Amino acid sequence: MILPAVLLFAFLLYLGLLPACTDAIAYMDSERSFKLDAPFVRTPDYVIAEILSKAGVGKDDILYDLGSGDGRIVIQAALKTGCRAVGIEIDSELVDDSRQNAIRAGVADRVRFVVADIFKENVREATVVTIYMSGDVNVRLRPKLLRELKPGARIATYNFDMGEWKPDDISTFGREDAYFWVVPANFSGKWTWMAVKGRTKTRWELALKQEFQEIWGQVTRDGTQYAIRNGKIKGDRIRFTLDHDPAGKAAPVEFTGRIRGNTIEGAIAGGTARKPWKAARNPATMQRIDK
């Protein structure tokens, strides 16, 4: 039974149906691999190019590659975009290889490789994070990324998603995928503002619940509630609509805004009318989203 299985596996490798498996098998057989959360498998160059492009990596970004292996994503990012990049890898021998590769590529002044545990290393300065690990590792990393990364930071993973956190975009390469997210700000809680028209003041309240970049809730004006529709967060920006205009004018009404701490500033648009909007949040009503 052993010989037919070996022959079948060799045949599949010959046909190229298992890309990058040779690297994985060789590494998984080594004692070094047992220290890792995932075996070292090289990310294809065409995937790296797509990740850098779709994540919008530019010269002003700081890219962190978690589980950086031989450093190829870090090095390609520095070469192709001019950004600064950091690789975090627990295997010191792979880090040594990465540093030598960076010297040969001429980008040693723009990259850094760290021997560290990806769950313990601080990634707060990153504006882009790339990961090619496993689904389990991605889900375990999720709270850390949501907690440490600033709203608007981008995350890209290859072959494995983030579980319940739905991606903002996906690129497909045959039977493989790359997934992309923009880290959302925390908009949850109760927000209030006053609308002034002449001598009349009207109190508004916005109650929001949030799961990653998805939001839902209602706007209350003069005791009447209006459910929000099409709620979406992208980084520090929010957008939602009301099917009915609480002021009794054009409908639907679209709210857009940008968060700064416990303040949202933006605009309310309905028909051809557009007016400013500024709301304040009661901090005690905010809920955690780093789960």
Cα–Cα distance, 133 to 115 (Å, whole number)? 16
What is the distance, to the nearest Å, from the Cα of residue 48 to the centroid of all Cα atoms in its chain? 16
Q: Inform me whether the pLDDT recorded for 26 exceeds 90.
A: no
User: Could you tell me if 271 and 248 are in contact, meaning their C-beta atoms sit under 8 angstroms apart?
Assistant: no
Bigger pLDDT: 191 or 27? 191
Average pLDDT value for the chain:
87
pLDDT at 236: 98
pLDDT digits (tens, 9 = 90+) for 168-206: 999 999 889 999 999 999 999 999 999 887 778 889 999
Q: Inform me whether the pLDDT recorded for 8 exceeds 80.
A: no
pLDDT at 39: 64
Cα–Cα distance, 123 to 48 (Å, whole number)? 20
Cα–Cα distance, 123 to 150 (Å, whole number)? 10
**Local confidence band at 271 (pLDDT 50, 70, 90 cut-offs):** confident
pLDDT digits (tens, 9 = 90+) for 62-113: 999 999 999 999 999 999 999 999 999 999 999 999 999 999 999 999 999 9
- Segment 26-35 mean pLDDT: 44
User: Could you tell me if 75 and 111 are in contact, meaning their C-beta atoms sit under 8 angstroms apart?
Assistant: yes
**Local confidence band at 244 (pLDDT 50, 70, 90 cut-offs):** confident
pLDDT digits (tens, 9 = 90+) for 32-72: 444 555 567 789 999 999 999 999 999 999 999 999 999 99
Cα–Cα distance, 187 to 7 (Å, whole number)? 56
Cα angle 11, 15, 20; round to 5: 100
User: Could you tell me if 157 and 130 are in contact, meaning their C-beta atoms sit under 8 angstroms apart?
Assistant: yes
User: Could you tell me if 62 and 86 are in contact, meaning their C-beta atoms sit under 8 angstroms apart?
Assistant: yes
**Local confidence band at 222 (pLDDT 50, 70, 90 cut-offs):** confident
The pair of three-digit structure tokens given for residue 113, joined into one six-digit string: 């490789």
pLDDT at 7: 43
Which phi and psi angles does 217 have, rounded to 5°?
Answer: 155, -155
**What is the pTM for the complete model shown?**
0.84
The pair of three-digit structure tokens given for residue 188, joined into one six-digit string: 């949850």
Domains and CATH numbers, the chain: 2-182 (3.40.50.150), 189-285 (2.40.128)
